[in-house]
Structure 1
C-alpha cells in the first residue's frame, strides 16, 4: 500500500502538468490553478463509500419523516380515501425506483454522458413543451408541471435540471478556447437558458428556473468564464428575477407576506405556511418534542411532507436535529465538490464540471428549502433534496449522485493507472 501511495505521488505531477504543493492534490482548469485539496483514500470497492452512506442516511431519515408528517393526512376530507401509510409507501417506492435507476446510471462511462448531453437537453426541452399541452400535461392548482403515468406523476422540470447541467458542462468543454470572449462563450448558453426559462415560467415553475440558472452560471464560472463577465451576467439575472417578481401580483404578495407573516393581512393567507413553520421550530426548542409528537403536521402546516418537511424535523428533533441535517448537507456538498476538483486535476474537465454542477444543484436547492422553512427566505416551492416527498425529484437527484460516484470511480481508476 505504501508503494502504491509513493507511485501515485510521483505520477500526479506528470498527469496534471503542475508541481505538487505540499501534500495536496494540485488542480488546474486552463490558466486557473487551485491547490491544497486532499487526496481521497481509495477503498476496495473503488468509489466514495462515506458519500454513499450519507446519501442512504438522508434517504432513510427522509422516509421516516415523510411517514411522520403525512400520517394524519387521511383525516382531511381531501385524502379521506388514503391509508395512513399512503405517502410513506409511495415515497419508499420512489426511493427504490431511484436506487435502481442510479445503479443503472453508474454503469455508463462519463464519455457516454458527454456524447449524449446535447441530445438529452433537446429531449428535456421537448418534454417541457409537451407538458404545457392541455391534453398531455396534468394541471394541479393552476400549474401544469406533470405527466400522469398511472400511479405516479413525472415532473420534466426535474429532468431539465440534470440535462442543463450536462449540457452546460459539455458546452464549456467545447468553448474552452473562446471562454474569454463574451459573445462567443456566453451568448449561446444564455439563449438556451432563455428558452428553458420561458417554458418553465409558462408552467409556472420559477423555483426550478432559479435552480437551473444557478447551475448554469456556476458551471460557467467554474469553467473559467471571465469573472467580470460572470458578475455582469449575475447582475442581469438578479434584475430579471426582480422584474418578474414586481410584474406579478401574487409573487409580490409572497414577498410582503415573508416580510411580515404575522400581520392580519397575511397570517391566514400568503404568510400562513411560514408562520406555522416558525411555530413548529419554536415548539421543538433544543431537543424537540420527540418523533411523531408534532402538532403542526396535524393539518396546521400545509405541505408538511414536501416543501416544509424540515419544519417537522425541527419540531420533533429540535435545534439538534436541524443542525444535523444542515451538517450532513454541508459535508455532502463539500465531498462532491472535492470529487469534481479531483477530476479536473486529472484533465477530466467534463466529469469535474458535472460533479461540481451536481454539488451546486443539491446545495442550492437545500439552501433555499432550509432558508424558506426558517423564514430567512421568501416562500418558494422547492423540496429538501433526498428527504422531502416527491418522486421525480428523488429519482433525478439519485441519478445525479450516481453520476458523481461514477466520476469518483473513474478518478480512482486513473490514479491506479487504468482507464476510465
Structure 2
C-alpha cells in the first residue's frame, strides 16, 4: 500500500511563531521580575511558569501540525460539547478571582475554558458551514441553528463575565460567516440586532463604564479609573525612539498594573522604544500575512474558513490589546497573543498555529501533485 506523503509546512510561519514566543519569554521576565521577587521570593517565578506553558504549547503545535486538518471537521461535535460542558462547570465550580469566574485552578495553574472556546467556535463554524454548502444562505435551516449555538456560548461567557472574549468570538464568527458565503442581508440584520445588546453589556456594569470613562478622559481620574491607562501612556512616552533598554523600565516597578499580562506592550514600548514596538508590529503582521496566504491557498472550504478564523483570532486580539494599551480603544483585558503571561492564551495560540501549519502542509502537497501531473 502506497503511503500518502504530506507536504512540508510553511517554515516562515513556523519561525515567526518561535520568534514571538521567544521574545515573549524575554519580555515577561523583564516585566515580571520585580513582582515575582516580592510575591514569590524569586525573580524567575513567572517566566519559569511561562516556559512550561511555552514548551507544552510548542509540543501541542508540533502534534497538530502533523494531524491532517480534516480531522477537526469530524471532531467538531465532540469539541463543541466539551467546550459547552467546561463553560457550564467553570460557572459552578470555577475560582472567583477579582469578581469573575473564568478559571479552574489546578495544581497552581489556572485553566481558562473561554480561551479554548475560541478554537472550538472556529472549528464548529468552519465544519458546519462547509457541510451545509448552499443551504447556509437559507436563514431558517442554515443560519438560525448556528446563531442559537454561538449565542449559547456567548451567554455562558458573559456570565463569567468576559466581555473581551465575547467581542473576539463575535468578530471570528462574522469573518467565518462572510467567508462561508452567508447571505449578507442576514449578516447585516444580525449585526444590527446585536448592537443594542453590546451597548447594554458595555454600560450594565460599573467597572465597564469606568473603563469607557477612562478611555475617553484618562486624566480626569488619575488615581482611579484612569490610573492604568495613564501609567501605560507614561511608559510609552518614556521609551521614546529607542527605549530605556531591556530590564531598565521604570513603570513595571509597581506603577503599571498587569505589567506582565495585559499591559506587557507598554513595557515593550518603554524598554525598546518606537523602534522595538515597530519591529514587533512587523513580526505580527508577517505572521498574519503568512496565515492569510495559507488560508486562501487551501482548496478545501473547511480549510479556508478554519485558517481565516485562526488568523482573525490572532489579529483581533492583537488589535484589542494594543489599542487598549495606547488608549485608542477601551480596556478589554485581552492578552497580547504569544507575548502576554498566561498559559491558556499561549497554548491556544500555539495549538491554532499548529492547525495553520497543517493546512500549509496540505497546500504544499497539492502543489507538488499538480506540478508532477503537469510534467507528465
The residue aligned with 2:105 is: 148
Q: CA deviation at 1:181?
A: 2.1
Point out the more displaced range, 179-188 or 50-59: 179-188
Flag structure 1 segments of 5+ consecutive residues without an equivalent: 1-43
Q: CA deviation at 1:121?
A: 1.0
CA distance in 2 between partners of 1:385 and 1:408 (Å): 21
What are the equivalent positions in structure 2 for 1:14-413 lying under 5 Å apart?
Answer: 46-74=8-36, 76=38, 79=39, 81-133=40-92, 136-263=93-220, 266-343=221-298, 346=299, 348-413=300-365
Q: CA deviation at 1:271?
A: 1.4
Task: Render the CA deviation track for 1:111-146: whole Å, top value 9, x for unaligned.
Answer: 21110012101100100000111xx31121111111
* TM-score, normalising length: structure 1: 0.84
* TM-score, normalising length: structure 2: 0.94
Q: CA deviation at 1:107?
A: 2.4
Higher helix proportion, which one? 2
Q: CA deviation at 1:249?
A: 2.3
CA distance in 2 between partners of 1:218 and 1:75 (Å): 43
> Residue 366 of structure 2: SS of its match in structure 1?
helix
Higher-Rg member (1/2): 1
Flag structure 2 segments of 5+ consecutive residues without an equivalent: 1-5, 371-376
Number of aligned positions between the proteins:
365
Q: CA deviation at 1:185?
A: 2.3
Point out the more displaced range, 93-102 or 322-331: 322-331
> Residue 385 of structure 1: SS of its match in structure 2?
coil
Q: CA deviation at 1:75?
A: 5.4
CA distance in 2 between partners of 1:93 and 1:258 (Å): 35
> Residue 246 of structure 2: SS of its match in structure 1?
coil
Task: Render the CA deviation track for 1:356-390: whole Å, top value 9, x for unaligned.
Answer: 11000000000000100110000111100001100
CA distance in 1 between partners of 2:348 and 2:214 (Å): 32
Q: CA deviation at 1:250?
A: 2.1
Task: Render the CA deviation track for 1:26-56: whole Å, top value 9, x for unaligned.
Answer: xxxxxxxxxxxxxxxxxx9711101111111
Q: How well do the aligned residues superpose, as a CA RMSD in angstroms?
A: 1.5
CA distance in 2 between partners of 1:331 and 1:75 (Å): 36
CA distance in 1 between partners of 2:188 and 2:293 (Å): 24
Q: CA deviation at 1:337?
A: 1.2
* Contact persistence 2:238–2:270 (CA under 8 A): yes
